[in-house]
Amino acid sequence: MKLALAVLALLLLAACTPQQPVVTNTTLAFKGLCKDIPGCQGLNVSDAEYCCYSSAQIYQNPEMCEDTGSLKDICYVDIAIKSGLPTLCQAGGQYKERCYLRLATKMVDSSLCGKAPLADQENCYSAVSVMGNDISGCAKSGSFKDACYHGVGIKQNNITICEQAGQFRNTCISTIAKQTSNSSLCGRLTALRSSCFEFFNLSDRI
């Protein structure tokens, strides 16, 4: 009986004694191209991944991204944006849609807006259309459509485009009147009419 109690006591003591952690090798052994970079060897995991990520950016080599662990997605995205290669965005995981958005504006390519985050697509079409001085994307700009036609209309000094600018129609025409020194355009305004004529030191010709 005493022996059984003694064994039980030892078992309980062992269960309550904090266990020493198992020490494992925390350095990262690369399997890809980063294994050939001396400065990245023998580092802890986070430092090694960042070292490999930095090397991938320096050499603009997307193959190195495979060795960057938790930085893999952003590694591909950063190279895609810097090099202007939309095909790399697909490897960007959780960041791929933002990658397409960044490249759409950088490359002034509205075809990439449809791959951007859904909430940003309309703004993307509008911004890229204005940047590219091309109204083709304005129809897809949704709530930014008026601003899109307004922006392109002003850049082209095109009254016909201004007529599609909805709430910004008068601002668009007034701006073109001043840009082109054409006071006759003030007469087409339904708002801002007086200030437009005043710009030319003329009275409101109603």
DSSP for 123-188, written as a single string: HHHHHHHHHTT-GGGGGG-GGGHHHHHHHHHHHHT-HHHHTT-GGGHHHHHHHHHHHTT-GGGGGG
Predicted local confidence at residue 22, as pLDDT: 32
The predicted-structure confidence for 73-131, as pLDDT tens digits, reads as follows 999 999 999 999 999 999 999 999 999 999 999 999 999 999 999 999 999 999 999 99
Predicted local confidence at residue 26, as pLDDT: 60
On the question of pLDDT at 189 being above 70, the answer is: yes
CA distances from 130 to 15, 96, 127, 146, 179 (A): 70, 24, 5, 11, 17
Residue type, 128: V
pTM: 0.80
Phi, psi (rounded to 5 degrees) for 44: -70, 170
CA distances from 188 to 32, 76, 157, 163, 171 (A): 67, 52, 15, 10, 11
Supply 66's token pair.
Answer: 């495979």
Coil, helix or strand at residue 17: coil
Q: Where do the structural domains in the chain lie, given as residue ranges?
A: 28-104, 108-206
Please give the Cα distance from 182 to 200 (Å, whole number): 9
The predicted-structure confidence for 45-78, as pLDDT tens digits, reads as follows 999 999 999 999 999 999 999 999 999 999 999 9
The predicted-structure confidence for 145-157, as pLDDT tens digits, reads as follows 999 999 999 999 9
Closest to 161 in 3D by CA, of 140, 183, 133: 133
CA distances from 122 to 33, 112, 153 (A): 40, 12, 18
Please give the Cα distance from 121 to 105 (Å, whole number): 11
SS3 content of the chain, % helix, strand, coil (to 5): 75, 0, 25
